[in-house]
Amino acid sequence: MIFFFFADFISLFLSNIGALKKKKNLKCYDFPGTRGRPAKTKVTRCDQNRRMAHWFHRNPLKATAPVSFNYYGVAGSPAANKICNDLRTTRARLLDMFTDSTCNPEMMKNATDAYFSLLQGFIAALDGTTQENKMRFIQNFKWTDTLHGNTPSAQQDAIFELASMAFNVALWYTKFASRLAGKENVTEAEAKDVHKSLKVAAGIFKNLKEVHVPRLITPAEKGKDLEPRVMDAYIIQSQAEAQEVTIARAIELKHNASLIAALAFETANFYQKADHTLNTLDPEYSSKWRKYLQLKQQFYMAYAYCYHGQTLLASDKCGEAIRSLQEAEKCYSRAEALCKEYRHTSGPGSTAKPSEQLFFLKLGALIKNTLEKCQRENGFIYFHKVPAEAPQLELKASYGLAEPVGFEMPPLSEQCTPEVYATFDLTKGAKNDKGKPKEEEVKPVKEPDLKPQKDTGCVLS
């Protein structure tokens, strides 16, 4: 369990506060390190109940109505019919993958590529002209939005389908990461997958926002998934969460305290930015998500001030160290208060329980103990005045920042040749009386992860 690295390290730290002064001159701060040792497996019963299963807030997956891709006379050749059939089956298979708890990134990628390589046959210009693909607007697609319950948005546009489906793929990656981080003992390779999956998700959201969504004829309405503010929030949140893994890793490898402070500060800034991008949306559907982003911001500010305080102490600036740790205490209290508010705010998504995690609780203890130590030392040795102002955190983390993994659409399926494209005849379908496919309903997605969890009632020793 990656976050146990954290807890382990902190316990170790508490017993040997001087350990940080033993500087290790390591260059590799990005995750995964090359010196990894396997996750500690000795966890108490209590710890097992408190693994990081509820560390990340997750909004629900998007739901969609089934699509038959049945255009009767329009598909005027066996090859054209096959494309339509394959679109239907590959789409259905991809939708199944979203709720299949055995699905891994390789399966997800295969299922996504299978569908998107065909769907692009309805988007790309296949007849060598610059005109729109004639099939682009043939089908109405319905998708719910993550913040708007079961009310679907609908557009008769294959690009809307492409963007909505890819959006769900990105959401799936964030959920996969969250599930993996919540496992009992996360291996080195799995921790790497958590980090990678979050960066892949960020890359998909980013690609959609920059490349595909701008091509929509009808821009998304306020607060809908394909709207820039919402997309930005997802991009930044995914990056920030990937960085959380990097921080856990940096601590586990006992990296330089000033580097950990810098990474924590950058991560807090990411959360703040994500929160701010949502501040013009209706609180009714955005405030729960925003509380999560705010509590994470305060939590990582507390981390940043705590580790910055250690750096200050190590360079004999005891008064400033005390002030930094006092600031850490304030941020930590704010994070605690926000955790409560978050839990009591209704809104879409799973309710994370960060304040119950060892990872969260141990930081409180670390701040308290470090502050007490600084105050003792100041009373005996330094006699520094504690400044009124909190120290400035102008720490630019120059490495370890999580960049989105670039996302590219798969190549167009070999089935979609200009010759086959020519056999689609839009004039045919309309003449057929029974040619109007019936409108399908959107059923909510049954997500295995989204059951509300009961408290474990576990008491920490």
Pairing of the two strands 152-155 and 141-144: antiparallel
* 258 touching ligand NAG, by CB under 6 A: yes
Query: Could you say which residues in the range 63-102 bind ligand NAG, by CB under 6 A?
Result: none
Of positions 20, 135, 180, 259, contacts ligand NAG by CB under 6 A: 259
Q: Which is nearer to ligand NAG, 259 or 374 (CB)?
A: 259
Query: Could you say which residues in the range 216-245 bind ligand NAG, by CB under 6 A?
Result: none
| Options 116-124, 132-140, 253-261, 283-291: segment touching ligand NAG (CB under 6 A) | 253-261
Least distance from C-beta 1 to ligand NAG, angstroms? 9
* 430 touching ligand NAG, by CB under 6 A: no
* 455 touching ligand NAG, by CB under 6 A: no
Of positions 16, 19, 66, 184, contacts ligand NAG by CB under 6 A: 184
* 394 touching ligand NAG, by CB under 6 A: no
**Burial grade of 204 (CB within 10 A; 0-12, 13-18, 19 or more):** buried
Residues 150 and 142 sit within 8 Å (Cβ to Cβ): no
Least distance from C-beta 219 to ligand NAG, angstroms? 35
* 107 touching ligand NAG, by CB under 6 A: yes
Query: Could you tell me which residues come within 8 angstroms of residue 408 by beta carbon, excluding any fewer than 6 positions away?
Result: 207
Residues 271 and 300 sit within 8 Å (Cβ to Cβ): yes
Of positions 11, 49, 99, 185, contacts ligand NAG by CB under 6 A: 185
Of positions 16, 23, 89, 149, contacts ligand NAG by CB under 6 A: 23
Q: Give me the helix-helix angle, 358-377 and 2-15, nearest 10°.
A: 20
DSSP category for residue 44: -
| Options 188-196, 254-262, 399-407, 432-440: segment touching ligand NAG (CB under 6 A) | 254-262
Among left, alpha and beta (phi > 0; psi -120 to 50; other), residue 292 is alpha
Least distance from C-beta 127 to ligand NAG, angstroms? 29
Of positions 18, 22, 27, 106, contacts ligand NAG by CB under 6 A: 106
| Options 205-213, 255-263, 276-284, 421-429: segment touching ligand NAG (CB under 6 A) | 255-263
* 41 touching ligand NAG, by CB under 6 A: yes
CA distances from 326 to 17, 216, 340, 363, 392 (A): 18, 50, 22, 13, 13
How far apart (Å, rounded) are the C-alpha atoms in residues 23 and 254?
A: 8
Least distance from C-beta 33 to ligand NAG, angstroms? 16
DSSP category for residue 34: S
* 49 touching ligand NAG, by CB under 6 A: no
How far apart (Å, rounded) are the C-alpha atoms in residues 301 and 1?
A: 24
Query: Could you tell me which residues come within 8 angstroms of residue 68 by beta carbon, excluding any fewer than 6 positions away?
Result: 88, 437, 440
Please, where are the H alpha helices in 253-384? 257-277, 283-314, 318-344, 358-377
| Options 5-13, 70-78, 104-112, 119-127: segment touching ligand NAG (CB under 6 A) | 104-112
Structure token digits, residue 100: 């299949």
How far apart (Å, rounded) are the C-alpha atoms in residues 288 and 183?
A: 25
Residues lying near ligand NAG in the complex (CB under 6 A): 23, 25, 41, 106-107, 110, 184-185, 256, 258-259
